[in-house]
């Protein structure tokens, strides 16, 4: 629109003419919005508010008298407040490039002053402290011209051919080199160990692979061998089963034959032996009974014979008294007693003969009738001996 002006976001619009600005400024400041400007009666100018850069390269002498070449970069801009814009507009509006030149000169002076109060060691090791001190000393002066510093960076410090910084850094360089060598040795050792470990793992893997291959090969060979032996083994098992069946059949036939032999030979033989034993026992029993019967018959016959001979025995005994002188004291009673004594003597002789016969049967096994004659002869001879002794007195 005709007469309406708007500043850029990084600019401040300065309107001169008409009434004055704030604080008696010769112009009004407009930022962030537009404004109507009457043509021909008002004049509009723009002041940059963007970041500016100033580079400082200065030779400074330290507290030790050693010259150092210092290179620094300053980042600055016009302040956002109206006072800073007014101060900067009054100084740099016609030539805004002078802001960088002036800022560099200001910082160069403060940099020389501060470095002159420090040693090389402090400057080298404490660059941030150097920058902070330079900023603090230049802040008030920069505010007067409407500028603010955002940062100050010390980019390089060099002592030229003096070699002081190199000498100062030599121990550190040696330590660093030593540490680097140690680190390199450790890295080399670690690399060798890693290689050895990798080789060991590779060898272990190769060994395991070989073992697995060997196991697979052995298993395949075993399977092939089993497959090759399957036919003969099956035939051998079949033959073994046939032999087992034949053996069992032979055993059964042998057992059956044994049973047949037992039934045909052993049982009849046992039956015949039992029959013979029973017959023999029966025959022995019969012969025993016959022998007992015969012995009993012989004893009966002997007793009968002895009884039959008893009168003769008594007669023989009485005959022994025929030539004897017998004095009868009590008459008829005495004679009776003599006769009774003779009979009693005959009975005693008969019992003795029986006992002798029984004893001889037990000792020599002869039948009683074989010994009867001898007994009678002994009895007869005894009687004859008694009759030869002379007269017998009978009390």
What are the angstrom distances between the C-alpha of 255 and each of 205, 252, 261, 315?
Answer: 68, 5, 10, 85
Reduced to 3 states (helix: H, G, I; strand: E, B; else coil), residue 151 is strand
Instruction: Assess contact for 147 and 74: CB atoms under 8 A.
Output: no
Confidence of residue 20 (pLDDT cuts 50, 70, 90): low
Could you tell me which residue, 142 or 308, shows the higher pLDDT?
142
Q: Under the phi-then-psi rule, with left for phi > 0, alpha for psi from -120 to 50, and beta for the rest, what region is 368?
A: alpha
pLDDT of residue 390: 43
- Asked whether the predicted pLDDT for residue 324 surpasses 80, the reply is no
**Tokens standing for residue 386:** 């008694």
What's the rounded mean pLDDT across residues 194-205? 90
| Burial class (CB within 10 angstroms; exposed 0-12, middle 13-18, buried 19+) of 389 | exposed
Q: Is the pLDDT score of 207 beyond 60? A: yes
Q: Is the pLDDT of residue 123 over 60?
A: yes
d(CA 242, CA 236): 10
What average pLDDT does this structure show over 294-323? 65
Q: Residue 179 above 80 pLDDT?
A: yes
Q: What is the mean pLDDT of the chain?
A: 77
Contact in structure between 387 and 319 (CB atoms under 8 Å)? yes
With 0-12 / 13-18 / 19 or more C-beta atoms within 10 angstroms meaning exposed / middle / buried, residue 368 is buried
More confident residue, 53 or 275: 53
The predicted pLDDT at position 270 comes to: 81
> 25-47: per-residue pLDDT in tens?
778 888 878 777 777 777 888 88
Cβ–Cβ < 8 Å for 15, 42: yes
- d(CA 82, CA 84) in angstroms, rounded, equals 5
Contact 317, 383 (CB under 8 A): yes
Confidence band, pLDDT 50/70/90 cuts, at residue 223: confident
Comparing 268-277, 318-327, 369-378, which segment has the lowest mean pLDDT? 369-378
Burial class (CB in 10 A: 0-12, 13-18, 19+), 343: middle
Per-residue model confidence (pLDDT) at position 73: 92
Closest to 82 measured CA to CA, from 28, 131, 41, 15: 28
Between the alpha carbon of residue 296 and those of residues 172, 290, 309, 310, 368, the distances in Å are 157, 10, 20, 21, 10
With a cut of 60, say whether residue 332 has pLDDT above it. no
Residue-level pLDDT at 93? 85
Report the percent of the chain where pLDDT is more than 70. 74
Q: How far apart, in whole angstroms, are the C-alpha atoms of residue 101 and residue 61?
A: 22
Q: Are strands 35-36 and 27-30 parallel, antiparallel or unpaired?
A: unpaired
Long-range contact pairs involving 201-209 (C-beta distance under 8 Å, separation at least 24): none
**Is the predicted pLDDT of residue 377 greater than 60, yes or no?**
no
CA distance 17 to 37: 10
pLDDT at 306 over 80: no
**Other C-beta atoms lying within 10 Å of the C-beta of residue 26:** 12
Q: What is the pLDDT of residue 317?
A: 58
Q: Is the pTM of this model over 0.85?
A: no
Q: Lowest-pLDDT range, 94-98, 121-125, 359-363?
A: 359-363
Residue 311, CA atoms < 13 Å, CB-side half-sphere:
2
14 — pLDDT class (breaks 50, 70, 90): confident
Q: Is 322's pLDDT higher than 70?
A: no
Residue 381 has pLDDT above 70, yes or no: no
Which residues are 29's β-sheet partners? 14
pLDDT higher than 70, residue 196:
yes
Residue 372's CB is within 10 A of a number of other CB atoms, namely: 19
pLDDT of residue 339: 57
R_g (Cα) of the chain, nearest Å: 87
Helices in the chain by DSSP H: which ranges?
82-92, 98-116, 120-125, 127-144, 164-261, 267-319, 332-364, 368-387
What are the tens digits of pLDDT across the range 145-174?
Answer: 889 988 888 888 888 777 777 787 778 778
Asked whether 368 and 299 are in contact (CB, 8 A), the reply is yes
Q: Work out the end-to-end distance of the chain between its first and last CA atoms, rounded to an integer number of angstroms.
A: 219
Total Cβ atoms within 10 A of residue 165: 18
Query: Using 50, 70 and 90 to split pLDDT, how confident is the model at 75?
Result: very high
| Among candidate residues 81, 295, 64, the one with its CA nearest the CA of residue 167 | 64
**pLDDT > 90 fraction of the chain, expressed in percent and rounded:** 4
Q: Distance (Å, rounded) from C-alpha 136 to C-alpha 126?
A: 16
Q: Give the model's pLDDT for residue 383.
A: 40
The residue ranking higher by pLDDT, 214 or 360, is 214
Confidence of residue 319 (pLDDT cuts 50, 70, 90): low
pLDDT at 346: 61
Supply 300's token pair.
């009966």
In the structure, what pLDDT confidence band is assigned to residue 313 with cuts at 50, 70 and 90? low
Span of 93-107, 160-174, 215-229 with lowest mean pLDDT: 160-174
What is the mean pLDDT of the segment spanning 216-238?
Answer: 83
- Do residues 124 and 157 touch, judged by C-beta distance below 8 A? yes
Cα–Cα distance between 88 and 67 in angstroms, integer?
Answer: 35
């Amino acid at each position: 629109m005709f007469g309406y002006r708007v500043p850029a976001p990084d600019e401040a619009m300065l309107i001169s003419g008409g009434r004055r600005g704030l604080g008696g400024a010769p112009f009004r400041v407009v930022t962030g919005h537009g404004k109507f400007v009457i043509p021909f009666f008002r004049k509009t100018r723009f002041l940059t508010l963007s970041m500016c850069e100033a580079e400082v390269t200065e030779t400074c002498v330290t507290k030790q008298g050693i010259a150092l070449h210092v290179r620094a970069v300053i980042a600055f801009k016009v302040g956002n407040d109206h006072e800073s814009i007014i101060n900067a507009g009054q100084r740099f509006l016609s030539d805004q490039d002078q802001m960088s030149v002036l800022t560099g000169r200001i910082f160069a002076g403060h940099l020389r002053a501060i470095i002159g109060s420090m040693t090389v060691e402090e400057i080298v090791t404490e660059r941030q402290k150097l920058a902070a001190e330079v900023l603090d000393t230049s802040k008030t002066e920069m505010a007067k011209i409407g500028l603010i510093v955002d940062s100050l960076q010390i980019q390089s410090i060099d002592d030229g051919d003096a070699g002081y910084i190199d000498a100062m850094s030599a121990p550190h360089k040696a330590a660093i080199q030593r540490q680097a060598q140690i680190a390199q040795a450790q890295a080399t050792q670690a690399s060798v160990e890693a290689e050895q470990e990798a080789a060991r793992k590779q060898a272990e893997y190769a060994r395991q692979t070989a073992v697995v291959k060997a196991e697979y090969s052995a298993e395949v060979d075993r399977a092939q061998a089993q497959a090759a032996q399957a036919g003969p083994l099956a035939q051998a098992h079949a033959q073994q089963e046939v032999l087992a069946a034949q053996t069992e059949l032979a055993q059964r036939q042998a057992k059956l034959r044994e049973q047949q032999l037992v039934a045909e030979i052993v049982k009849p033989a046992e039956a015949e032996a039992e029959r013979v034993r029973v017959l023999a026992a029966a025959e022995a029993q019969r012969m025993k009974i016959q022998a007992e019967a015969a012995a009993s018959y012989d004893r009966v016959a002997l007793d009968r014979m002895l009884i039959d001979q008893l009168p003769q025995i008594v007669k023989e005994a009485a005959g022994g008294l025929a030539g004897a002188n017998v004095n009868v004291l009590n008459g008829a009673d005495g004679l009776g007693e003599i006769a009774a004594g003779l009979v009693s003597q005959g009975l005693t002789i008969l019992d003795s003969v029986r006992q002798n016969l029984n004893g001889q049967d037990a000792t020599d096994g002869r039948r009683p009738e074989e010994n009867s004659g001898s007994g009678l002869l002994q009895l007869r001879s005894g009687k004859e001996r008694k009759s030869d002794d002379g007269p017998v007195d009978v009390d």
